Amino acid sequence: MDLSIIIINWNSVDFLGKCLASLYSNTRGISFEVLVVDNGSYDGCAELIQREFPAVRFIQSQENLGFARGNNLASKYSIGRILLFLNPDTEPVGPALQRMVACMQSQSDAGAVGPKLLNTDLSIQTSCLQSFPSLLNQVLDTEYLRALFPKWSLWGNRALFEESREPVSVDGISGASLMVRRAVFEEVGRFSGDYFMYGEDMDLCYRIQKAGWKNYYVGDAAVIHHGRQSSKLQSNNHFSSIMIRNSLLTYFRVHRGNMYARVFQSATAIAALCRIVLLGLAMALAVRRLRKQLLLPSIAKWARVFRWGIGLEV
């Protein structure tokens, strides 16, 4: 078996059907299997698979194992020489997976391979490539700076803006579509169970590179990623904002030490406070009521991030 495609579902059944349809209609010339783990959501995905995709191997988890543990579970049941960890809210375009597999086969030092991720409107999803997290790139990560300096090495996604027909070595690849050589995946210890959601992809890519392998970006392979559909279910309380920072804190503790992690948390609080002040000024100066209403959710988000930074949120 060339490829095992592993999908972790949590309340994403509407996207899962489209994802599976795109896999079976576009993937040609390679032998592959598909495994789906439902992380305790019981959203009808079992019935969908039984009715429309009987070839899929379905695993029902009684609880929400999270992204890392769910993928690790499915990998133990898979048989492919190459593993593809794929979000349920994705749709591979054309021969994307074939091109990724070809890269894995042609680059003997490839530990992991990632495609170009596209938003629903087919614009480039710049988060598909990232530098390994650091205090500097996390504190300076704002939409304004990214727009002003899109090719800055601090972001790690320069390859997205430079057309290349050859695979490009990069730091981190998004877990939304992350292809890994099985032998390498097992060599580095699979996904770390320290992460529940977010951060596990950067952690894995870091350990792959540290073990002497490379992570490659394949620019002529495209996958549509509709984006964070599961976490949107809890967007009203800024769930993802806190989960992302908890994962970063774990990453820094593991790879940089406790002191570095504490400095990151404190710096996050300071950066959040600065944003609250700026947003407050913008709200005070706003003339239209509609604009004031649009600013309120942002203020609420950064207020919660500030609380996390000073240890009042977990």
Q: In the structure, what pLDDT confidence band is assigned to residue 165 with cuts at 50, 70 and 90?
A: confident
pLDDT digits (tens, 9 = 90+) for 194-235: 998 899 999 999 999 999 999 999 999 999 999 855 444 444
Q: How far is CA 112 from CA 115, 119, 288, in A?
A: 11, 22, 49
Mean pLDDT computed over every residue of the chain:
93
Q: What values do phi and psi take at 122, rounded to 5?
A: 75, 10
User: Taking a C-beta distance cutoff of 8 angstroms, is the pair 260, 252 a contact?
Assistant: yes
- 88 contacts 16 by C-beta, under 8 angstroms: yes
The whole-number average pLDDT for the span 177-185 is: 98
d(CA 80, CA 27): 15
Q: What is the pTM assigned to this prediction?
A: 0.92
Higher pLDDT, 238 or 297: 297
- Which comes out higher in pLDDT, residue 296 or 201? 201
Quick: pLDDT tens for 116-164: 999 999 999 999 999 999 999 999 998 889 989 999 999 999 999 988 8
Residue given tokens 């990724």 in the structure block: 100
Per-residue pLDDT, averaged over 57-69, amounts to: 96
The more confidently predicted of residues 42 and 162 is 42
Beta strands in the chain (DSSP E): 3-9, 32-39, 57-61, 82-86, 90-93, 110-118, 129-130, 168-170, 172-173, 177-181, 214-225
Q: Domains in the chain and their CATH numbers?
A: 3-225 (3.90.550.10), 232-309 (no CATH)
How many CB atoms neighbour CB 112 within 10 A? 27
Element of type H or E holding 268: helix 258-285
Nearest-5° Cα angle at 228, 256 to 301: 70
From the list 246, 229, 242, the residue with the least C-alpha distance to 302 is: 242
Q: Collapse the DSSP code of 13 into the 3-class scheme (helix H, G, I; strand E, B; otherwise coil) and give the result.
A: helix
User: Residues 173-181: what's their mean pLDDT?
Assistant: 98
The Cβ of residue 29 has, within 10 Å, a number of other Cβ atoms equal to: 10
Those residues whose C-beta lies under 8 Å from the C-beta of residue 278, and which sit 6 or more positions away, are: none
**CA torsion through residues 245, 250, 254, 256, sign:** positive
Give the N- to C-terminal CA distance of the chain in Å, as an integer: 42
Q: What SS3 state is found at 280?
A: helix
- High-pLDDT (> 90) share of the chain, %: 85
Angle between helical axes of 13-26 and 96-106 (0-180°, round to 10)? 70
**What's residue 55's pLDDT?**
97
